[in-house]
Amino acid sequence: MIVTIDGPAGAGKSSAARVLAAKLGFRFLDTGAMYRAVTLAAVERGVDLRDEQALLRVAEGAEIHLTDGRVRLDGRDVTKAIRSFDITTATRHAADHQGVRARLVELQREAAHGQDVVSEGRDQATVVFPDADCKIFLTASDGVRARRRYDDLLARGEAVTYEEVFAKQQDRDRRDYDRPVGGLVRTADAVEVNTDGMSPEQVVDRLMQIVASRRPASSQAGE
Ligand code: DC
């Protein structure tokens, strides 16, 4: 079974998807982590992110592994490094690059091959797994999302202001929705969940209900 969770930054996708996958016993695919890892690899190699050829070479050469909730780049654990404010902002170059997207879409499909998966990102229901059994679109209002991101960054010890985080979020939203390939779209067959005012546990409970309602009869019988 493939469960896709798409939505804008800060809607709580990653944490909810991770717990959902663990509860279901499915593999968790954090596809945003792949775009971030390509960006980190490029920055560390001194590659100009606007150099499309060079960025593609980095994406094609980088060994990215998502296992046990950790992200490994060329064998190194970069789980924390890819979430810095600077990498978050710079990731737009990889996300806007059609060649990089094609490469990462391929890796995402390979990672899901023959497995039950919860896959989280922007284009999972549209481009990567259009035939997914269960599609969820997770949102929250702009202010709530920016507040969550701001609290996360403060907890990591980063010196940012709420206004800065909010402005960057608006910019990322615009880019995510307007991206010609892999842009964020709520598909007609997706169930929308607005997480405003919901605790993380409530979000996971709601997602569990949605998955249960979409689960193919064959996999339910096998439980
Ligand atoms: O979900 P996130 O914040 O970790 O995503 C990081 C960036 O990657 C974000 O700017 C959107 C982009 N992204 C994407 O274009 N397609 C995906 N499937 C996942 C993330």
Smallest CA-to-CA distance from 97 within 6, 181, 8 is with: 181
For position 223, what pLDDT does the model report?
Answer: 46
| Cα atoms in the 13 Å half-sphere on the side-chain side of 144 | 13
Residue whose CB lies within 8 A of the most ligand 1 atoms, among 6, 84, 91, for a mutation test: 91
What residues flank ligand 1, with Cβ below 6 Å? 9, 31-32, 35-36, 91-92, 95, 121-123, 172, 176, 182
Smallest CA-to-CA distance from 38 within 85, 103, 84 is with: 103
What stretch of H or E contains 88? helix 85-90
Per-residue pLDDT of the chain (223 residues; tens, 9 = 90+): 999 999 998 898 999 999 999 999 999 999 999 999 999 999 999 999 999 999 999 999 999 999 878 999 999 999 999 999 899 999 999 999 999 999 999 999 999 999 999 999 999 999 999 999 999 999 999 999 999 989 988 998 988 999 999 999 999 999 999 999 999 999 999 999 999 999 999 999 999 999 999 987 666 544 4
Whole-number Å distance between alpha carbons of 198 and 87: 28
For position 53, what pLDDT does the model report?
Answer: 98
For position 156, what pLDDT does the model report?
Answer: 86
Long-range contacts, 162-168 (Cβ 8 Å, 24+): 166/142, 168/88, 168/89
Ligand 1 atom closest to the Cα of residue 124 is 18
| Number of residues written out for the chain | 223
Whether 139 and 13 have beta carbons less than 8 Å apart is answered as no
What is the full DSSP assignment across 121-170?
ESSIIIII-TT-SEEEEEE--HHHHHHHHHHHHHHTT----HHHHHHHHH
Q: How far is the CA of 93 from the centre of ligand 1 (A)?
A: 11
Ligand 1 atom closest to the Cα of residue 33 is 4
